[in-house]
Each structure stands twice: as C-alpha cells, then as structure tokens.
A and B are shown apart, each in its own frame.
Chain A
Amino acid sequence: MPIRSKLPAFPCAGTQTSHAPTRRDFIYGLGSSLGSVALTALLAEEASAEMGVSTGPHHPARAKQVIFLMMEGGPSHIDTFDPKPTLDRRHLERFTRKGAEKSAMESGSRYYVKSPFRFRRVGQSGADMAENWESLATVADELCFYRGCQVDSVNHPTALYQFNCGNRFGGDPALGSWINYGLGRINQNLPGFIVLPELSYPQGGAANWSNGFLPARYQGTPLRPTGPPILDLTPPTGVTSEHQRRNLDLLASLNQRHAKNHPQEESLRARMEAYELAFRMQTEVPAALDLSTLVVWCGEFGRTPDNGVRQGTAYGRDHNPKAMTIWLAGGGCRAGETIGATDELGAEAVEEVHHIRDLHVTLLHLLGLDDSRLTYYHAGRFKQLSQFGGTLINGLIG
C-alpha cells in the first residue's frame, strides 16, 4: 500500500499542492480499474427515489467493465493493422476522384500512397501488425481485429461524438453513461465512468463523455493528467483542514435539524452523506477487481489510401469513414481472429460490414445489456444508444 499511504487523510483539505494526489495515485486508489463500470457496484446499494435509476443487466454479462481506448484523430488502418500491398505497387500513381467519391478535403491532384511502415504477421494467429507495434505484438492472440466498421462523418468532432455517444450531434449520453445507467448498482457517489483525457481535450470537448439527457450521476469523470485529478478537489489556497472540518461540523448540525423536519426525504440524507464521502473518497480502496474486462481500441474513423500532396512533400491520408480497424480483447470477444475485410486498397469495408451503431449494440450485449431495452424517455420518445436500433455483430462474439 505504498501509494495509499501518500494520500492525505482528508482529500479535500490541506493547502500544499505537493500533497494533492496525482491522477495515477487516484486511479490506484480505485483498484487500478480504469473506466470501471463495476466500481459503483462495489459500494453498498443505496435506495433512491430519483428518476432513471438503473435496473441491472438484461441477460448474463460476458464483460463486467470496459476500457475504451479512443485514439482521437483517426488512426490509419492501412498503416497499423490492415496492410495493402497493392498500394506499394501503385505508390504515387495519380488519379482523380469523381462525383460522390470526391473528398470534402479535395486539394487538386491525388495520389495513391504506400505505407511508410513495414508489416509482419505476429502470434499463432498471424495477425497483421506494423513493425512499430512491439508490445502489442506479444498479445496478438488475445485480440480480435475488426475491419468491417463504418461511420457517417468525415469530420473529427462529429465522428468522435458518433463513436462515443451514438449521435453525430453532441449532446447525447456517452457509451459509459449508458452502461452506468444500465448496470450501476446505485451508489451514486463514486464515479463509475472515468475518463483519462490527454493534455488537450479532444475535438468536441467534454461533450464526448457527457451524460447528455441522462441524470448527472452517469456523467464521465475526467481525471486530469496534471494537478489534482478532480476539479475543486482541494479547497482554495489558505483554507486548512481544521477550517474545513469545522465548517463541515457546522453544516452537519444544521442539516440534521433540517432532516428532522423532513424525515421522508431520502435525497437529503444522500446529500449529507455525499459531503462526508467526499472526504473519504480517495482513502477508501475498493476490493480488487477480478472481473472480466473488455478492452476496445478504436479511432473515430480510418484513413484513405490516397491524398493530395501537402506542401509538395508530405503524403498524408484523408479522413475515411468507410474503413477502419478496431480491436477488442477479453470480455467475451473472439480471440486471435481478424473479422471482416476492406477492399484491395483499403478504401472501403467489404466483408462483415456494419455501421457503428451495431458495434454499440454488440458492446452493450457483452455487458449484459439489450440496446433496445436500455432506453430513456427524453424529448417525447424513448431514446437509446444506437439511436433507432441495430443488430449484433455475431462474428465478434466468442
């Protein structure tokens, strides 16, 4: 418990930032479970009269928690997990896109561009990987590569929203919020949906992990990469722990009188407890998690086999919503297989082709949730992650 001992007894108190726990300490304190949807279930259940309380899984779950690795920016499948020898032969061959194939980012002449990276086959399963993947190659047989996914948008923010929240227009609940809504076993006070953003927030900002129209307790908690991991975790400079403790004692005595006059109001008690819990938050280490974890690696879209020449020298790749590679591991997925395929150039998925909504339906399914039953009444209709329903991608399920 060396890391635990570094944490202050009162996480809200203390004035020295050097004592503020880092994001790493904080996560460690949560049982090293990133994005753990099961975290909420580790604490005692708490009755709640509030609307929209989750009801638990619809069927036995294969996965109990998810680590969703969103590689913001649209990693090129052609340069990572989906080699295209044809492009080596046609490197710098010039061509024109016509009509509907024209890119929104059209910039004069276009060229086919080969990958600058060498590929090799790794693991017993012979998975395709660029040479740059050193560590990942050692676990290749645990991964399920999926080459059939397609999305609707060529723009980063809208594609990110669609991947993270199901809807190209920001404002819908994120995948993690839906899962918490479906599975959270109700102690609403600890984050069950944790977000680890990089230094700069992704395009589209915090709406990528918002609870949307779901209640705020399903909102993603971003743990900040620098400084205190949670906003306002520490009191203003100069406020000591003694000061805070006295304020809290006065608050407790005032609240107790108020609660006596409103004995039936469960939410008041929950609010009082939230204040004490806030102090304990990092010092409580939940039991270690031995539950199966589903890992998903993806970007918001793939890349094209071609591009215009940028500044005369750089051969980039254009945004491509029609082809990408996603990999999944654990949580009831197939292992050591590659599902689906893109065409000869990597321009478009041609086998096991599914819209992103079907991937969402499949992820929920692995977690024991039925997308068509995981609904929330908002703005006149029952809404769901897939928007209007989708189908399972059976090929991904082990």
Chain B
Amino acid sequence: MLVASGELNRTVGGIPNRPEINPEVAFQPRTVMGSVAAAWTPNPLPQQRHRRSLYALKLRGLSDPMLEVFNKPGPDFSCERRDTSTVTPQVFSLLNGKNTLARSLALAADLLAADAKDEQAVDQCFERILSRTPTPPERAACLAHWRDLTKLEASVNYPRQHLPLKIQRTVIEEMTGEMVSFFEHLPAHADFVPDLQPADCDARTRGLASICLVLFNSNEFITVD
C-alpha cells in the first residue's frame, strides 16, 4: 500500500521505526511488574513511519494488530513462509482501519495534484494498485462511484484528528483491587506530523480515495495471481 500511495521510505536497515498502529491498541494499558507500560508512541514524521514492516519495532507484549491478523510471524523463529488465513478481523482492519484510509487519501491526493482528468485518474489508480488499466465497464463503474461519493462527501464535515498530549488510564490496583485512574503525559505527540486526513481533502479527493480503498480491499490486490 505504501508503494502504491508513493509514501514508502525505501531506506534499508537502521534503527527500528515506530509506525502508527490502531490507537485503541496503542493506548491499551498493559500491566508490567508493579506498573503500567507506556503507550505506543509513533515516530513524529511520516517518512520515519512509512517504512517496510520489517523495520518496525517489535515488542513481545504489544504487536501491531493489523500485522497480527495477517499471520505476522513470531519473534522467536525464522519464518520461511507465512501461513495464509481468511478471517473477518482482516476485513475490519483493511476496510475500517486508519492505515488503509490514510494510504487511499495519499494516493488520491497524489493523482489529483497532477491535474489528471477523471478517466486518467481512475486509470492511474488501477495502474498504481493493480498494475493494469481498468476494463471499460470497470472504468465506467468507478467513474459513477466517484461522482456519487463526491456528492455524498460534500455534505460531510470531518473533524481534524490530533494525537492526545495526555491520556487518562484506568487500571485495577494490584494490592487493593480498586480502580485507579491517572494521566499519562505524551509530550512526544506535540511534534507529531499526521498523515493526510479526510479533513485535509476536498470531497472530490475523498471520493477518489474511496475507489483506492476499494481497490486496496480487492482480491486482486490482496492475493497473488
């Protein structure tokens, strides 16, 4: 997806990076001896975050749920080939997850920045994601979809999303069994430069991003021919 959206940082090796992961998991309190582990803090800059998953920091007690539903190998053994599975959480992750949406918006914005005509933009979507041009019926279906979605999107006001500078955490105290709440401060989030969000884009871009999202979810993209 990062390749298709043109965002992949192709640097080889180096210090492990910290991509954005599902925020529910990033902020999920995890007990460590006598305390609670710190929240997952992504790298501040997009180009730092957008690397191959091979280079992402791996914590045993906190793994990226998106990789997990796609048979992420464990850290203990070499893995010559991943298992393949089809499970519903993959759908939730790819269809509703922040990652696919951000890649779709980035690709759509990239295509429209080149001032492409509608037909060209749809063709380039297919080329970037599926490495082929669409058939005439596919092109027609996508153009109609884009028009409909642009109309739909025009009426939606997306809130701008920020990473919080502090989060309230509630845990059950080990010695007393009582619920205890406290604030964890996340000063690193002050420097965080977010990926392109729906709030940054006009309705036309968001409409094209819908096509990208659908293509990223298609069997043709996910499976190897």
Contact = CB atoms under 8 A, between A and B. Distances in A.
Interface of A: 12, 50-52, 72-73, 156-157, 169-171, 188-191, 198-207, 210, 212-217, 219, 221, 224, 227, 230-238, 240, 242-244, 246-247, 250-251, 253-255, 257-259, 262, 265, 267-268, 270-272, 274-275, 277-278, 281, 378-379
Contacts of A216: 68-71, 83, 85, 87
B96 A199 contact: no
Measured as residues with beta carbon below 8 angstroms from the partner, the interface class of chain B is: 35 or more
Given A199-B29, A255-B220, 14 more contacts: A189-B88, A200-B29, A200-B36, A202-B31, A206-B62, A227-B24, A232-B92, A232-B97, A233-B92, A234-B96, A236-B98, A250-B141, A271-B222, A275-B217
Interface in B202-217: 210-211, 213-215, 217
B136 interface: no
A383 to B, nearest CB: 10
Given A216-B83, A224-B24, A281-B88, A12 B62 contact: no
Contact of B92 (A169, A207, A278): A278
Residue with the highest number of chain A CB atoms closer than 10 Å, among B25, B28, B33, B96:
B96
B9 interface: no
Nearest to B218: A254
Contact of A215 (B83, B145, B198): B83
Contacts of B10: none
Contacts of A233: 92, 96
Contacts of A199: 29, 170-172, 179
B127 interface: no
Contacts of B152: 240, 242-243, 246
Contacts of A235: 95-96
A175 B30 CA distance: 21
Instruction: Give 9 closest A-B pairs by Cβ, nearest first.
Output: A205-B61, A200-B29, A171-B74, A232-B92, A216-B85, A232-B96, A278-B91, A215-B83, A171-B76
A213 B77 contact: yes
Interface string B125-150: 00000000001001001100100110
Contact of B87 (A156, A205, A255, A274): A274
Contacts of A227: 24
Contact of B96 (A12, A204, A251): A12
B14 interface: no
B118 to A, nearest CB: 16
